Every structure is written in C-alpha cells, then in structure tokens.
Structure 1
Amino acid sequence: MNNQILKQMGCLWEHEGILCSLKETSYDSENDIHMTDSLMHVVNFDQVKTLRSSELRISQPPTSADALYRDGNGLLYLIEFKNGCVHKADIFNKIYDSIVFLLDRKVLIDLADCAKRLAFILVYNSEKYHAEQDKIPSWGVISNYFSSLGHLPPVFDYIARFKGYCFNSVCALNSSEFNVNFVKEHDKGYSGQIH
C-alpha cells in the first residue's frame, strides 16, 4: 500500500531508505533509541523531503514529519516522533511543510481532501516530557487535571486546531500509548520484509 503512495509522489523508490520500517523512522540518533519496535512499512518522509529538496536545489530545506503511513482504507497518517523537547513552532513547521509536499505531489487534492483523508500523530517520550514540565511550577497539578478529563495535555493542545481543517484527526500519544493504540491496530502480519 505504501508503494502506491511513492508512485503517486513521483518518488524514485529505488532510493534506499524511502520505504522502511516504522522502527527505523522512530530512531533518535542523539540518544541511540527507537520509540517503537514496529516493523510495519512506512514511507520515510524525512528521506523523501531530503531527496525532493536536493532535486529542487533548495538552499534551506523544509522540515517534515518522520513517517507517512497509508492504511487499508486509504487514510494517510503523518507521524512525528519526539524523544526530547517538543517545540510548538517545530511541530507547526513540520505540519505545514509536510502538507505542502503532499499537495505539491498531488497525493492529496486540496485542504478539504487533507481534512478527509489525513491524520496527524505526535508521538512523544512521556518521561522526558514530564521532566521538562516538572520545571514549571504547579505543572503536575495542571497536567493531571487535563489528563483526567481525557484531553490533550495543555502543551499539545495547539495541534487540536488542525482537526477538521488540515486533518481528519490529530492526537498526541506517548510512545507506550502509540504502540498499544496505533501499532497494535495497524501492525498485523508484518514479517519485516519490505517489498
């Protein structure tokens, strides 16, 4: 299924690393850790962005989400892994640049199509996230309150504004929640072989 996305994007998928495992796209080289062990096949969106930037000879390359996944129903998922600090401007830039690329390559037709067929998942390291938030007075009380209501933690609330506008759904999941809720649902029957 993700091969179809590559063909639609006009990518030369003979480039090594374009189609890879979700585990590979979740790798944090600074800390030498993967945020998931899933072998499900995804498009390495960082690699696609790098190739496209080179092709266009862009001096200041755009940013992008880490992975693009297409499920059996044609729903596309942009997945961004953040093992360290999560900066609002960084996430906004990654969302914007990723959507522009998908529209430019005609993977999606327009913003209405994005809002219908595109989802965004921010996967974060809860230990590092909470360690950063512990530096803010009373953060634990605030965070626990919002968590108990089932909402995004306040620091991630800003991505909710994209729902219905650029995405059909948005969520921020810690790596454990991502592995239980997303990977378990979509990672059925992957042998690790990438075709």
Structure 2
Amino acid sequence: MRIIGGARRGLKLAEVGAGDAAAHLRPTSDRVREAIFNLLINGPYGNPVEGARVLDLFAGTGALGLEALSRGAARVAFVDDGTAARALLRQNIEKMQAMGVTDVWRRDATRMGPNRGAGYDLVFLDPPYGKGMGEAALASCIEGGWLAPGAIVVWEESAAPVPPEGVEVLDQRRYGDTLITILRAPA
C-alpha cells in the first residue's frame, strides 16, 4: 500500500498483506483508491478534497484519509474501534508526518453520538461488507450533526447500499468485488 497522488505520492504505508479478517481489516486497493480520487477530483463535484475536513469511518489503516491529506485536505478524523487497526493507523500517520492534522478516535462508527465541533465536508465510509453497518453509521452521523450541509460521502461496499432518506446518490461504480457509491448529504 502506498499514497497514490499529491504531496506524499509514493509514500509506502504499513504492510497488512491481504488484510486481517479477525480485525475486519480489508484495505482499499491502490487501484480502487486511485479511482475514488479521480472521481472526486475530476468529477462534477468541484474538488471536495482540497481544504476539506475529512471523516474516515471504519478507518482501518487510514489509507483513504491519508490519501485525502496528501491531496490537500485540511484535517482528517479517523474512527475505528479495532486495536489492530488503530496500531496500523498510528504507524501510517507517523510515516505521513501528519500528527498535527489528524485525530484518531476509538469509537463505534455506528454510534457516533453528538458532534461538538464543525461538520465534516467529506466522509469515507468503508464498513465490513454485508453487515448493514454502513447504513447505521451514516444515519448516526446525520443524527449527531457530523456532516456539513451538502457533504460528499464515499461509501465502499460489496452491494448497493440503502442511504438514509434525504441523502442523494450521485454516482456508483463497480471495481471487482467493490461497489463505490458517491452520495451528497442534505444541504
């Protein structure tokens, strides 16, 4: 795994091999990550990455959030309740030298609770596939005020997700087993 583009392009991240099923670590492949960022930056959404406050739910290794930082995001909050994931995430944050612009929270992404700060402009949602956790996490984020008005959500899942009412599906693309859905939160 490596950073694909931006200021830290080519930086090698901590190795996880094929992932860790017990820890639910299934890193987004370089190819899918590159496709996601091409869609975001070159798509019809403006550039939702540049200067964004990013929320990376089910962060795992943090590759999606760190890629956003490399491409100009202002700050990234990583959420994961797995011990193995947070250890890898901290290693990767150190490799990126991004300690001052990141937060790592040990939290269940399906029960975020109330947000005490500003909403997030860009959200990466990469739950364990087929468990309905993405739907619960997105609903929890909306309820808790975690999303800025009109925030872009990038949802990685194996099948078409069912977003909460008021969330608009903008695009869907399949890459092997992975279905990427780009959504917009209510304004």
TM-score category of the 2 structures, normalised to the smaller one: 0.3 to 0.5
Higher relative CO (Cα under 8 Å, sequence separation at least 6) belongs to: 1
Q: What TM-score results when the alignment is normalised by the length of structure 1?
A: 0.32
Which structure features the higher share of helix residues?
A: 1
Which structure features the higher share of strand residues?
A: 2
Q: What TM-score results when the alignment is normalised by the length of structure 2?
A: 0.32
